[in-house]
Amino acid sequence: MSTTKTKTATRSRARAPRARRWTCTGCEVTVRYAAGSKLAPRRPEGWTKQGGNWLCLHCQREKAVEKATIGASGDGWASRRQALLEFELRRSPDEPDGVIAKRANCSTGHVRKVREELVAAGKLGKKAA
């Protein structure tokens, strides 16, 4: 009795495209794009990766405000608004003052003042004309 070995061919499967997915480590909100979606970005707009963890824009804002207001004395709302304005101006320095004002829920005059202060302190480049 002879025994013959048969080789089993392993078919290489084409890898199916994977769904794109991001989860914020701060609030656990998840953004998903279907597998193979041509609309899937490299990352959701406004999100950033810090230390291997994704943070949504909302959590980035909260983190910036929290960091800036630790130990701050005075009006809590004014300190929070100032921190939010600085964050938004650094995040997108070329945005018009009106857009930044809407994000921070304040006047364009206040945005202009904070922008000028940041530029004078060397913390922000001049706005592109």
Tell which residue, 27, 96, 97, has the closest CA to residue 59.
27
> Binning pLDDT at 50, 70 and 90, where does residue 9 land?
low
Q: How far apart are CA 70 and CA 13, in angstroms?
A: 54
At 81-94, the pLDDT tens digits run 889 999 999 999 99
Rg (CA), the chain: 24
The reply to whether the predicted model has a pTM over 0.85 is: no
CA distances from 28 to 25, 56, 58, 65 (A): 5, 9, 11, 19
Q: How far apart are CA 58 and CA 46, in angstroms?
A: 9
Q: How far apart are CA 93 and CA 87, in angstroms?
A: 10
Tokens for 43, please give them. 């990352």
Average pLDDT of span 54-64: 94
State the residue for tokens 């990352």.
43
Question: Does the pLDDT value for residue 33 go beyond 90?
Answer: no
